[in-house]
Structure formats: C-alpha cells, structure tokens
Structure 1
Amino acid sequence: MPFTLASILIDTADLEGESTFWHHLLGGTLTRTPTHHFLQAEGFPVIVLQLAPDHVPPTWPTPEIPQQLHLDLRTDDLAGVTQRALDAGAHHVTSNVYKSPSGHPFCLREG
C-alpha cells in the first residue's frame, strides 16, 4: 500500500510568530484558523502550525528537552536562503543548523 506524506504538524505556543516565520522562509499561501495555520508552499506537503499553549521549546543540542522535529531543507542558493532564514527570525545553532522562533531545529543544505 503506497503512502504520501500529506502534512507536517509543528506545535507552537506562538501560532502567529511561528507561522509567519515559515511563511517568510518558504513562501506559499497561509490559511489561518484560531488554532491552526496551514502553509502550502511549492515542493512541500502542507505544513500545519498547531497552537499548543503548553509547548516547551526543545533545548537541543543540549539534552534536557530533545528535538521534536527536524527538517533538512536543500537549496541552490544557500547564502540567500540562510540570510532569508535569519531575517525571518531563525536562530543559528551550529554549522548549517538553525532553530525556528519556537525552537524547532532545521538544516539548510546546498544542492
């Protein structure tokens, strides 16, 4: 039985901030409800930002609170996308690893 990845859900206590970040980084269209924001960006399944008022951001790479999600994003314009991520509010962790405003880690890779 074949499967297709239909969506990725990302918990956040700051629904507007987290969805604005991903929308700024990936483009596409953003549809809002009071508890979920749906981002449809070319080349991705639907990214659903889900309000989780008690969400505690991961502390990864320190072990207290492990990462809860990790995305690897590839691009042909690593320098441009890196700057776009930082302008959108990403936090640089190490090398090519960044965190979203809610603390979810992701990598930016060339290729």
Structure 2
Amino acid sequence: MAIIPSERKWLVEFRRRTIVFETADLDAESAFWAGLLDGTVDAKDTWHNIWVDGDWHLAVQFAPGHVPPVWPDDGSSQQVHLDFYLDDLEGAHAKVLELGGKLVKSADDPDARTGFRVYTDPAGHPFCLAWP
C-alpha cells in the first residue's frame, strides 16, 4: 500500500545528508575524495569531512579493521557505490589515477553514446565515471 503524503504520521526534516566512507587510512581516503571533487578536508581525529564550495559533501571515518569490497564478486557485497556523470572522461580518468584510485573495469564500448568505467578509491570503495 502506498503512503499518500497527507497520511504520513511523521513530518521529519533532515538537516544534513552525507555519504560516509570507512577506511583504515584517513589521510589517503580523504585526500583522494577532496582532490577528485576539488574540495577541502576538515580533519578530526577519527573523522574527516570533505567540503566542496562551502557545502559538506562526504565524510571519511576511521575503521581500523576495514576490508574493502571486491568488485565484481557475487559473494561480496558492495553495499553502496557512487556514479559521477561527466563530459571529460579522459581528464577525470587521469585525475582518479593521479590521486591514487584504480581502474577495475574499462568501458565495454568506449565509443558508445553512454557507458561507464569502474574504479576504486584508495580504501577499495567502488565508484563509476559515466557519460551520456
């Protein structure tokens, strides 16, 4: 049964939403995402915030036992991944590699009208660079 807005029991306003990456290496992980998104790092002891244009975009949390997801692997859950859509795929590719990311799957057809490449950040979290 669908909930019609007027039937909602709670009216909750979320003030902030963010994606949090766990990692055993806070500095490498936060530097990667800040560099890729042209942002800055606000570093605390076990938590780093990534700010872009004055807005909080991502967070990185220290997790000493972090085990990176495996892509692709039907036996290992990715749990979440990010897709970034852009026009300059080769420029973004070079930036990802320079910042310590790794290409794990090339595009099936790089000349196709739409497609994606799969990468991992320094802690092994998968994300895609995609183009339409």
- 1:68-83 alignment, distance < 5 Å: 68-83=79-94
The equivalent residue for 1:26 is 37
CA distance in 1, matches of 2:124, 2:75: 13
Once the two structures are superposed, what CA deviation does each residue of 1:18-48 show, in whole Å capped at 9, x if it has no partner?
Answer: 1111111111121000100000124x75200
**1:86 corresponding residue in structure 2:** 97
Unaligned runs of 5+ in 2: 1-10, 108-116
Alignment of 1:93-108 (within 5 A): 93-94=104-105, 95=107, 96-108=117-129
Match of 1:47 in 2: 58
User: What is the TM-score of this pair, normalised by structure 2?
Assistant: 0.75
5+ long unaligned stretches in structure 1: none
Same amino acid, percent of matched pairs = 42
TM-score by length of 1: 0.87
- Pick the structure with greater CA Rg: 2
Counterpart Cα distance in 1 of 2:128 and 2:15: 23
**Is the contact between residue 50 and residue 58 of structure 2 (CA under 8 Å) also seen in structure 1?**
yes
Give the letter aligned to residue 58 of structure 1.
Answer: P
Equivalent-residue separation in structure 2 for 1:4 and 1:90 (angstroms): 31
Q: CA RMSD in A?
A: 2.1
* In structure 1, C-alpha distance between the alignment counterparts of 2:38 and 2:56, rounded to whole Å: 13
Shift of 1:16: 0.7
Higher relative contact order (CA 8 A, sep 6+): 1
